[in-house]
Amino acid sequence: MNQAKRQMSVDMSYEEDTKKLRTSNEDKFINCFENLSNELFYEIFDYLDGRDIFYGFSNLNIHFESLIMNSRLLLKIHDYTSYKQSFEHDYQRIILPNKHRIFSLHLLNGSQLIRYSTFHTFDSSFYRLESLILHGIKFNEIILFLPNLTNLPRLFSLNIHLDDVLDDSNRIYHLIFRLPMLKYNKLSVNKIILQDSISSISNEHFSSIKQLVINYPCTLYNLYNILSYTSKLHHLTCEPLFSINENISREIPLKLFNLTYCSISQCYLKFNEFEIFIKQISSQLRILRFKPCSDIFYLDADRWQQLILQYMPYLHTFQFKYHDGISDHFEIQSYHSFLNRFISPFWIERQWLLDIQIDLNHWPPVEIIFSIQPKRKQWNELLISYERNNVTFNQITDVNLSDQEYMHILNSMSQLTVRNCRFIQYDQWFIDCIHFISSLAEITCLYIEFQYFSIDIIIQFLYRLPHLNSLTIVIMFSNQKIQLTEEQINMIHTISNMNQIIKMNIEQIFELNQIDILINLCPRMKYLNVQCKNYIDLEYIIRLILMKKNSNLYFLCFSIPNADERMVKRLQTMIDLKELLVNYTIQHCHNKIYLQRQKY
């Protein structure tokens, strides 16, 4: 009995000591936390929502109370849906008392703000408010609310998302254009009634907006009128653009001398209409992105070249996509003859790549996407970036490429992108498909995304696309180790003597013997980039490559997580011990390891 009491006494004493120690440590932590500088607290608060600050710190002590009530602390109030407190409670306790300190207000249910602002005017007392995002608003509500914003001296950004029908965009833009300090505006709607008119706006209400996002179907005439009151515009983004009243655009001149960026997600204008429009806004244009629909004349490369040379002298980024439905007979149409002109010197000099994309996961009729875009930053561009950064990375000094080699790397300017290649064996439909694509343009780059790797499919692509000099392979799923048949070995030998591939990029691969097959398939390869999962694979691949004694292959790049100097040293030791190379350099930069064989 006495022993049990002593044990209980010891346990209770231990628990009390532990509790005291825990309390002491907590007090020390609180004291240490409170001793942080006010400047550091304000930096921490900058990452928190205004309500988090009030609910988390307002009742702790006088120090924190004074911090959060200081006028230098600006508040952002975002998204009420995650809070248990009602909007009315937060509006009364946080927003109204601190309206002079709110600089950002983003609400998923903007109707609540509008409803309560009828009782408490949303006026110039919100003089630090810079960004306002309102979702879930009715058309009539926003019409009543927008006039309240005209007295806000720092409202630079306004994002409105209507959840009902926009039957009159005129009234909204009339009010938006009256906001004197506005720089950014985005208007989104769920439904709209297309219009071809907008009433005039008095000259004193020309807008100060520099970035405009029209996130709803808009007619060309409506867009012309909107742009006629936004002469300071720099960036324009427009969702589906339609034309209802033909030739009306000729009657409205535009003066947009600051517009440098234009993006139209779906353009339903005829090319003739688009030309008239773009000529009026393009004098300073640097970036043009859009997706034309339904007019085959958008594929006329010579017409584009003339338009860009005469009206877009500063254009450096040009992107567009054209979707073309192809019958299962793969018949060449007259407009397909335009495509080969997209690989003329004009396009090559600007590094604008013709990309023909086909998704083989779809059955006929097949949709082919013709696009023009900046040349992809695949491994060859990373190689050039590596070389040019030698000045920055002092440890990298031994990689040298001549100007001629740079141009050789950049020369590939027409690409075939194959998505979801599910074929293991080819059939006549597959052969007809490749033959059709090869007749459209001289394909020099192949990017192929396999579901499962197939040597037969690779051989067919290389055989039927004789101008290839660059190959990129992605393999989505693992399949068993490939056992080559005698026929496949003979085909590899035949294709290896024919193809001109000098660049290979293996973005994802599961079976290492697939790399062996690909290297044998392309004996003229000079540049190889491989993404490795771990160091074991990396060492195996390097040993495999170097043991082949391929005299052409002299530059290798390996992407691997956590590449560091220790990994480089291990590889260097392995190469030297096995005498795989004599004159070479090996370096790492970020998550890449570069291995270069010295040329004699």
Q: With contact defined as beta carbons under 8 Å apart, do 129 and 154 qualify?
A: yes
Q: With contact defined as beta carbons under 8 Å apart, do 544 and 482 qualify?
A: no
pLDDT tens string, the chain, 600 residues long: the values are 454 444 444 444 545 554 444 445 545 444 566 677 777 887 888 888 888 888 878 777 777 778 888 778 888 988 755 555 677 778 888 888 889 999 999 988 888 888 777 666 788 899 999 999 999 899 999 999 999 999 999 999 999 999 888 888 888 999 999 999 999 999 999 887 766 555 555 545 689 999 999 999 998 888 988 998 999 999 999 989 998 765 554 556 788 899 999 999 999 999 999 999 999 999 999 999 999 988 999 999 999 999 999 999 999 999 999 998 777 677 788 888 888 899 899 998 898 999 999 887 766 567 889 999 887 655 445 555 455 444 333 333 334 444 444 444 445 578 999 998 888 888 888 888 889 888 888 899 999 999 888 999 999 999 999 999 999 999 888 777 788 999 999 999 999 999 999 999 998 777 888 888 999 999 999 999 999 989 999 999 999 889 887 778 889 999 999 899 999 999 999 999 999 988 899 998 889 999 998 765
- DSSP, collapsed to helix, strand or coil, labels residue 196 as coil
Q: Quick one: pLDDT at residue 394? A: 32
Q: What angle do CA 445, 447, 451 make, to 5 degrees?
A: 155
Cis bond upstream, residue 365 (ω within 30): yes
Distance CA 3, CA 592 (A): 67
Quick one: tokens of 30? 């609180």
Q: Quick one: pLDDT at residue 16? A: 55
Look up the pTM and report it: 0.80
For residue 27, give Cα distances in angstroms to 20, 22, 32, 218, 222: 10, 9, 8, 62, 65
Q: How far is CA 200 from the centre of its chain?
A: 38
Distance CA 97, CA 125 (A): 10
Dmax over Cα atoms in the chain, in whole Å?
A: 106
For residue 491, give Cα distances in angstroms to 17, 500, 520, 588: 80, 16, 11, 37
**Could you tell me which residues are beta bridge partners of residue 471?**
446, 504
Residue type, 328: D
Enumerate residues 6+ apart whose C-beta is below 8 A from 273.
220, 243, 246, 249
Q: With contact defined as beta carbons under 8 Å apart, do 249 and 273 qualify?
A: yes
Q: Quick one: pLDDT at residue 599? A: 66
Q: How many residues does the chain have?
A: 600
Q: With contact defined as beta carbons under 8 Å apart, do 517 and 492 qualify?
A: yes
Write the DSSP assignment of 152-168 as a string of letters.
-TT--EEEEEEEEEES-
Q: What angle do CA 160, 164, 168 make, to 5 degrees?
A: 75
**Could you tell me which residues are beta bridge partners of residue 592?**
559, 589
Tell the residue number behind the tokens 């008239």, with chain if given.
276
CA nearest neighbour of 457 among 414, 482, 439, 376: 482
513-521 and 455-464 are packed helices; what angle lies between their axes, rounded to 10 degrees?
20
Q: Within 13 Å and on the Cβ side, how many CA atoms surround 351?
A: 12
Distance CA 134, CA 105 (A): 8
Distance CA 389, CA 387 (A): 5
Domain definitions of the chain by residue range: 415-597
Output b/e per residue, 117-132; b: 16+ Cβ within 10 A. Answer: beeeebeeebbbbbbb
